[in-house]
Amino acid sequence: MSSRPIIPEVQTNGTTLFLKDMVDGFKMHEVWLSFAWDETLSRYHRSVLGVLWIILGYAVFVLGVSFFFGSFARMGVGPFTIYVALGYATFLFLIANVIDGCVVFSGSSSWIKSSTLPYSVYVYKSLFRALFPFAMQMTIAAAAIIYWQVPITMSILLVIPALILFVLNGVAIQYLVGLLAARFRDISHLVNTVSRILIFTTPILWVREERTGLTGLVADFNPLTHYIEIFRAPLMGAPTRPLSWCVVLGLTVVVWVLAALAATRMRQRLPFWV
């Protein structure tokens, strides 16, 4: 045991503490990876197929949608199947960040009240837990891409910044929503209500470019449209609109600023709320 320097508990609150929490939590990756993995496994505990259910369930969904709605899409059944396989998984991942975000802290209340782990550990855990099914579902999308032989171009590299932006947004959104929902319990009900509508108003089961008039316009006011398009379009060999990149980049900044503001004001009170 070595002697340690004096560490006075500095009771400053502020953005510095929020960023410190983010960095300290990130460094404990073994903790949140283990937690996320344990939770994922326990969800499929004692089932024979286990986590394979994620892939199987998604394959059934995608094939079902493509069978029933494929003939409505002008792009043809093959591309439409890929479109759904990419878009729906992305939608689920993005919305999971908001829905899981509501319980990211309140669901870990016993840990928050008994340990001094950085709060961001729960956020990273939750994000990783949402990334896992997303990755599994992507195998179905990859299979569809290979099966229908989508031409691969250099623009496919754009999925890398898109994924980085997803993760950056996921962290900030979960932190923000987690704090708000811990304090204001109505938020999680609101989020559930809204997400049910978003399934229809987001272009995942229908193609935005094929719609003229109001629906196409409404889609552009839905941020999810742009988040999904920056990831889906490059993988379908289609160009991404600069508008979508601008919206996503802009919202990323907004979400981080809001998360930092909320954390500055609310973080210290969190153990009383959960």
Partner 1 sequence: MFQLAADNISLVFPLYGRPSHAESVIDKAKSGANPRLIHGPNGDLIGVKALTNVNFALNGGHRLGIVGANGSGKTTLLQVLAGIYTPDSGRLHIKGRRSNLINIGLGMRAEASGRRNIVLGGLAAGHSRADIIDRQQDIEAFSELGEFLSMPVSTYSSGMRMRLSFAIATAFDPEILILDEWLSAGDENFKRKAAKRMKYFVETAGILVLASHNASLLRKNCDLGLWLHEGEVADFGEIDNVLEAYVEHSLRK
**Residues that bind partner 1 in the complex, under the rule CB under 8 A:** 1, 3-9, 11, 28, 30-31, 34-35, 38-39, 42, 45, 110-117, 183, 268-269, 271-273
Min separation Cβ 258 and partner 1, Å: 22
Question: Is the CB of residue 84 less than 8 Å from the CB of residue 204?
Answer: yes
Of the candidates 151, 156, 137, 159, the one whose C-alpha atom is nearest the C-alpha of residue 78 is 151
Q: Which residue, 30 or 48, has its beta carbon nearer to partner 1?
A: 30
Taking the C-alpha atoms of residue 66 and residue 70, their distance in angstroms, rounded to an integer, is 4
Q: In angstroms, what is the minimal distance from the CB of 145 to partner 1?
A: 36
Residue 28 or 199 with smaller CB distance to partner 1: 28
**Least distance (Å) between residue 99 CB and partner 1:** 21
Instruction: Return the number of the residue (114 or 212) whose C-beta is nearest partner 1.
Output: 114
Nearest-approach distance from CB 108 to partner 1, in angstroms: 10
CB-wise, 84 or 103, nearer to partner 1? Answer: 103
Q: CA separation (Å) from 230 to 87, 105, 116, 137, 247?
A: 11, 30, 38, 18, 10
Q: Taking the alpha carbons of 212, 217, 219, 225 in that order, is the dihedral positive or negative? A: positive
Query: C-beta of 54: minimal distance to partner 1 in Å?
Result: 18
Nearer to partner 1, 185 or 196 (CB): 185
Helix (H, G, I), strand (E, B) or coil at 131: helix
C-alpha distances (whole Å) from 161 to each of 51, 157, 229, 231, 258 are 28, 8, 13, 9, 22
